[in-house]
Structure 1
Amino acid sequence: MTTSALDDEFQALEARAYDTFDTGRLTHAAALFGDALARKPDAIHLHYMKGLAHKYLGEWSQSLQHNLRAIALNGEFEQSMAWNAAIAATGLGDWDEARRQWERCGIRIPPGSGPIEGDFGLASIRLNPWHGGETVWARRIDPVRARLLNVPLPESGHRLFDIVLHDGAPTGRRRTGDGDRTAPVFNVLDTLAESDFDTYVAFVRCDSPEDLDDLTDATLPGIGYVEDWTRSVVHYCLRCSYGSPHAHHDAAPPDDWAIERNLGIGAQGKAAAVRLLTQWASRGPGRHVDGIETPRLERPARSQDRTWWRGEDEDDDEDDDSDGEPG
């Protein structure tokens, strides 16, 4: 085969790899970039793209390997390579490498060794962005790790206080509850540490916002946070979905009080959640607990039929699935 024919064949292979990546078929794309690297092992852009595909697959060892190779071949500092290497190192728990890459990026991190524990601000975190994309508030403890502050829906497979690994580039911004500030929205890439708080879905009735405040403000051992999902979760009827019988009423106007409330409770055990609800109901008339469920669901598998990492900018006024104030 002539040199020209070999070049044409390589260009076709490279184009297939990019096209496959651009349609979200990450496993196939990673394999095609690998085939291209077998022919041109020192191609910086191919190492970068293969590392990128493995990043979105959550395959941290391969992602780090190819990003570090791209960095070594490039010679000059390239921020995107350093960020992706730091993300992959964080996913692996290779804290020395992660710290080295953050320092190359000029990011100030707390001194020392091991996991980074700092305050990098509030963020809106999109859980399972390849499937639904519920957003919750979180506190960033390093450039790409965050602790969840809301009670996620059970369908997400996540829990209050999980520590998640998120992408480096925000996909939009979201207004905080006071409306005066905005926070970046990041896609979750992986879960690094599961909390010991389960999610309990409770259905209660009460006559006034003050009754509900008495519940959401209450503290007990084993209770992390009580969140009113009645307004923030609007895409389906939670009571029906969990089999709690009730009569449907016309939705109350936004400024009117709805007696039926759907709650998400982050608790370390059902006994703590039941004790909280029982004590609350006993403290005032017209307070009723209709049911409490403990759904345990697996996280949805990563989709490879769309480019979920290219999320559209969010409308600041839009309500997502779980959108309460941070716990």
Structure 2
Amino acid sequence: MTDLTDTPDAADTGPDDDTWDALHARAYAAFDQGELHTASALFGELAQHAPEVPFLHYMRGLAHKYLRDWPASLQHNLRAQSLSAEPDQGTAWNAGIAATALGDWAQARSQWAQCGITLPDGDGPIEHDFGIISVRLNPWAEGETVFARRIDVVRARLLNVPLPESGHRLFDIVLHDGAKTGVRALDDGTVPVFNALQILQRSDHRTYVAFIRCPSADDLDQLQQAELPGIGYVEDWTASIVSLCLRCSYGVAHAQDDGDSDGAHDQGAASNDDWQVERNLGIGAQGKAAVERLLTNWVAAGPGRRVDAIECPACEERAPQDGTVWWRGPGDDDAQGDDEEA
């Protein structure tokens, strides 16, 4: 955490123009290189000499947003607002995100009002249907994208079963950034992609990985339509994720096509005419017993069905590393290699 006090020295006459320009350049260079602690300190030094300049406080607030240091981010953004002659939506968005992370609902509602966003009446948490979006989990790492339902301006509930290594679970409520970083196809249109910043409310549905033999798409449909207490969602990762073969990564034996020896297999196809019998499932469930019961019932109800393995890998949220510039959209940097949920 950073010292939040910006108290200028009355005796300080300030740096000359060359020194100021050099300090200014160093602050932005540190920010652009993802050295956020250094950037905050340098913008703070500039603010000591020019405490009335809003953008210096804004940049400190931005640096602390990407550090996920919400008290500091909120304080610096509010300071920038108090110095600005006119409302600034960028500052209001960042202050709203920080206030939401802190559960300061009065402040968050005030900031969203400044952005012209209409909200349901109330003074507590915002609970509303803002539609379907896509969120990029761990944008500082693999960047898996999943669909989510927006329940707030910057909170969303995950609707896919994320890969366990993402550290996220089905139905997690995540805080997401306000800047769109791409689009994803959904039905006949597209939805915006936002970077997830952190998990705000952990789901009680753990992630189970099931490797099965499924004779047809109809058999899979029966499994996905089955309802059982403790089961949240059964996702066919074979069809929805393009990535290295999960069976290889988990060491589960399977029939491998000739010449395909690097663990990268065709993960698509979802029709009875062109069907991959070996399927990899992600199951969001409240306990392994429910998963075993679901799959046992499914195997017993049709010929040729088999369960090869059920795993429950560790699922730990990860933090960004200093020096990683992860907040830029695809148009701002080289294309990102996301694992995508269809």
Range of TM-score over shorter length: over 0.9
Match of 1:308 in 2: 326
Deviates more, 1:33-42 or 1:167-176: 33-42
1:241 maps to which of 239, 244, 249: 249
Task: Map residues 223-242 of structure 1 onto 2, 5 A cutoff.
Answer: 223-242=231-250
2:219 maps to which of 211, 214, 230: 211
2:46 maps to which of 36, 48, 52: 36
Task: Map residues 104-115 of structure 1 onto 2, 5 A cutoff.
Answer: 104-115=114-125
Match of 1:64 in 2: 74
Matched residue count: 318
Q: State the AA in 1 paired with 2:111.
A: Q
Task: Tell whether 2:284 aligns with 1:266.
Answer: yes
2:312 maps to which of 294, 300, 309: 294
Task: Map residues 1-327 of structure 1 onto 2, 5 A cutoff.
Answer: 6-176=16-186, 178=187, 180-249=188-257, 254=269, 256-313=274-331, 320-324=338-342
Q: 1:230: Cα distance to partner?
A: 0.6
Deviates more, 1:236-245 or 1:139-148: 236-245
What percentage of residue pairs aligned between the two structures are identical? 62
Distance 1:204 1:5 in 2: 68
Q: Deviations over 1:58-79 (max 9, x none)?
A: 1110000000000000031111
Q: 1:3: Cα distance to partner?
A: 6.9
Confirm or deny: 8 A CA contact 1:171 1:186 kept in the other structure.
yes
Confirm or deny: 8 A CA contact 1:153 1:322 kept in the other structure.
no
User: Which sections of structure 1, spanning at least 5 residues, go unmatched?
Assistant: none
Q: Deviations over 1:210-258 (max 9, x none)?
A: 0001111111100000000013223211112112222322556846100
SS in 2 for 1:76: coil
Distance 2:156 2:311 in 1: 27
SS in 1 for 2:34: coil
Distance 1:224 1:290 in 2: 21
Distance 2:190 2:213 in 1: 33
Q: 1:313: Cα distance to partner?
A: 4.9
Confirm or deny: 8 A CA contact 1:173 1:313 kept in the other structure.
no
User: Which sections of structure 2, spanning at least 5 residues, go unmatched?
Assistant: 1-11, 259-264
Aligned in 2, Cα 1:4/1:239: closer, same or farther, shift over 3 Å? Answer: closer
RMSD over aligned Cα, in angstroms? 2.0
Q: Deviations over 1:153-177 (max 9, x none)?
A: 001000000000101111111110x
Aligned in 2, Cα 1:189/1:4: closer, same or farther, shift over 3 Å? Answer: closer
Distance 2:43 2:109 in 1: 28
Q: Deviations over 1:115-170 (max 9, x none)?
A: 10001111010001010100000000111110000000001000000000101111
Q: 1:5: Cα distance to partner?
A: 5.7
SS in 1 for 2:209: strand
Q: 1:274: Cα distance to partner?
A: 0.8
SS in 1 for 2:232: strand
Instruction: Name the TM-score, length of structure 1 as normaliser.
Output: 0.92
Distance 2:302 2:78 in 1: 62
Q: State the AA in 2 paired with 1:198.
A: R
Distance 1:142 1:100 in 2: 14
Q: State the AA in 1 paired with 2:56.
A: L
SS in 2 for 1:139: strand
Instruction: Name the TM-score, length of structure 2 as normaliser.
Output: 0.88
Q: State the AA in 1 paired with 2:232.
A: G
